[in-house]
Structure 1
Amino acid sequence: MEVILNFSPWQQALIATLFTWGVTALGAALVFAFKTIRNNALALMYGFAAGVMIATSFWSLLDPAINLAETQDRVPWLVVAIGFIAGGFFLYLADKLIPALYLKHSRHEATSRSGLKRVILLVFSITLHNIPEGLAVGVAFGAIGATQNGSQTAAIVAAMTVAIGIGLQNFPEGAAVSIPLRQSGMSRTRAFMYGQSSGIVEPIAGVLGAVLVASVNTILPYALAFAAGAMIYVACKELIPEAHARTKAESHWAIFGIMAGFTLMMVLDVALG
């Protein structure tokens, strides 16, 4: 823990988001080992990532936001409600304003040989929702510098769990880009480069989030709740539907993954926090 505190919040956020980007690249690298991945395995991965994000949204983001709002003599439920809704609404507006392709459509679009435009749109759509994910990590690490010494250990654990949660859900995303591109006839190297490139934006967004939170302490509870809203939106809009779409109607692999991911992060947050 002391080693982490030797770095400034923006440096901590940079290191953490480089990790999440690296996990994206690791998922994209599956294209070198497999041309296809069994749907049950993908459903389990997507479900696990969704469960991790749901648990992280409460124990690492909403609960600290409530506690911080109380220490600032604000109305806790109002603060977290505003921030949470704003986070989800941000991604909703992004969906409406930018012609993004969601993960559940990526396989069909990628298998079409209609040219570079479809490939760029595919990568761009996933890159788009990586922005608030990077912000979520940055906000969590920015909170470390804004907390009192007695609460810094808990803030560090919370920030690390957010980064781990984002990283875990980035793994199947990297594979979701690179493997369909490989199936469409693209070389393994090019498919990997496109897959990992979707995570490049996270370090930039993470540093920005950490700097903003560290500079303006009053927005911290709103920012934490905002990040939680963004994560829940991603989990419900993309990961859970994609997990179920990968399997047959009677399959429970997606549910097993969600429960396993939620349980793991719940145990880590409660035991370590």
Structure 2
Amino acid sequence: MTASSPPVTNAVQKVCAVLRALSGPAPMRLTAIAEAARLNKVTALRILETLTAEGFVQRVPGTKTYALGREALVMAAARRAVPNLAALAAPGLLRLAAASGDTALLSVRSGTEAAYIAREVGDFPMQPNILQVGTRRPLGVGASSLGLLAWLPEAEAEALLEQVTPRLEAMSRLPLDAIRAEMAAARKRGYLVLLGNTYEGMGGVSVPVRGPLGDVVGAFSLAGTIDRMREREAKLATMLQREAAALSALLAEGNAVPPARKARRA
């Protein structure tokens, strides 16, 4: 906040001030956040702890700094704001859908759910049309959603798995032990494949997308008929990994503005 900013007086303004402080390009320490938000450290810390618990802020692993979290990402994607992960992922999704003929998806974690924020459909006649932008699923239901869960730190993944177990029992065809086994297999091979877990005859392959801090910011996935997924599993995984690496490189470069928007600014 600048010296000309109005004073922070109520609880909502204090939360907004903390989020505004964190909207810069780099993670921040508590002292810097409190100073930028014009709050004392105790108040700033209390707000940060609440925002972290709600997913709007994250602690950067291995440091004493904070950054915006996954819920802020979901809101930004919904508003087509900058940084816009969905816009940055659009070329990769187009390539995936064109090369595979299947449905290419980008999902992000939102609390105990996965939210689809971008989608491109290939030309194969049979597509999982129920998977639309804005669709949410419990973590663990479907390849993309289970992938987001699998690549979290194991202790965090297990804690989330316990929270979503009642919903998994209602929506997933896999027992809990089988879900854990699929997660372990995904960590070893670098991609997750799930066939017929949610919808009969349909399956998917997914890989993680990592941000500049090394954390998983989303997942690319391809969804289609079981036969198509099974026959081309390794090939599809390679395609997904290539596009995930390309998107991660863009994020690492700080290239958060889509090219078209950059051109208009120039």
Which fold has the larger relative contact order, with Cα–Cα distance below 8 Å and residues 6 or more apart in sequence?
1
TM-score (ref. length: structure 1): 0.24
Compare the two structures and name the one with the higher strand fraction: 2
Highest Rg: 1 or 2?
A: 2
TM-score (ref. length: structure 2): 0.24
Compare the two structures and name the one with the higher helix fraction: 1
